[in-house]
Amino acid sequence: MPEGPEIRRAADRLHEQLAGRRLESVWFALPELAAEADSLVGREVSAVDSWGKALLTRFDDGRVLYSHNQLYGVWKLHDAEREPDTERSLRVRLTAEGRSASLYSASDVSLWPADRLDEHPLLSRLGPDLLTHGVTPEQVMARLAEPRFARRRLGGLLLDQALLAGIGNYLRSEILFFAGASPIEKPQELGEERLALLARAILDVTRRAYGQSGVTNRDEWAAAARRRGESRRLCRFAVYERDGLPCHDCGSPIVREKVASRRLYRCPRCQPG
């Protein structure tokens, strides 16, 4: 499933397609939304951003279209005159000044006043989005130190979207590696210096994945891995999916474990615990 960086990149593409343009036509498959379609015609798309794994398409009248791709949903961008070549079920189509964005195979779509988004049943449970909400290292440290989070093991905590929205399975492994932290450690056990290192890794790894289309590995490590003949996918990561291969930093074999019912990869020497 896509994680925060992939969803934010999808939001960027949708923003580029529609933002600053007035809607010429709007179509919804869901009956509860179909009655609202005509009221959006003529409205300008002011922005598209993301919160966790949700996309938020914002209109100039203060309404927001919430959509969640879930496992199979996908937005396709196209000219209004050219229908996408797909057998997927169309759920939403927005057309603005000759450009269209069509959402297929997703069922979690709703229209909200912007000032009531905090009442949304999913968004109301999310922590701040690492790529949308201008989160700082100090804010990450403060959240990790909150009593509801501080006593939990990092392996499960980092997947909890109530802590910070957007971290999924590959980011979890990569963040813990670059922070030198074990999945069984707890924020309250790290001390201020290591807690700051973890907060910085959370932001840096997530932002790198966003800027580099999912790549989290250091450039020099990736180049060395390519010279060894490793696949392009394996070169993308520092530890994720690299079980049995040598750690880029110390050479120890990367191990694969199951933590919080999900696979996790770590270096036993760089991340003792």
Q: How many Å apart are CA 202 and CA 15, to the nearest integer?
A: 25
Which one of the listed residues 3, 6, 174, 185 is annotated catalytic?
Answer: 3
Instruction: Exactly one of 2, 137, 246, 268 is catalytic; name it.
Output: 2
**Does the annotation count 193 as an active-site position?**
no
Give yes or no: 186 in active site.
no
Residue 76 is encoded by which pair of tokens? 């396709």
H helices, E strands: number in the chain:
10, 10
Whats the size of the chain, residue-wise? 273
In the residue annotation, 2 being an active-site residue is answered as yes
Q: Please give the C-alpha separations between residue 3 and each of 47, 94, 96, in angstroms, as whole numbers.
A: 20, 24, 28
Which spans in 125-250 are helix H?
137-144, 147-150, 154-157, 169-179, 187-211, 219-227, 232-235
Q: Does residue 76 have an active-site annotation?
A: no
**Residue among 212, 213, 179 at smallest CA distance from 196:** 179
Q: Are 106 and 69 in contact (CB under 8 A)?
A: yes
- Is residue 268 within 8 A of residue 255, CB to CB? The reply is yes
Q: Considering 22, 43, 153, 262, which one is annotated as catalytic?
A: 262
Q: Specify whether the CB–CB gap between 198 and 144 falls below 8 A.
A: yes
Inter-helix orientation angle 4-18/187-211, to 10°:
40
The stretches of the chain forming alpha helices (DSSP H) are 4-18, 31-34, 37-40, 137-144, 147-150, 154-157, 169-179, 187-211, 219-227, 232-235
Active-site residue, from 5, 6, 8, 53:
53
Q: Are 144 and 137 in contact (CB under 8 A)?
A: no
**Which amino acid type is present at position 188?**
Q
Q: Which residues are part of the catalytic machinery?
A: 2-3, 53, 262
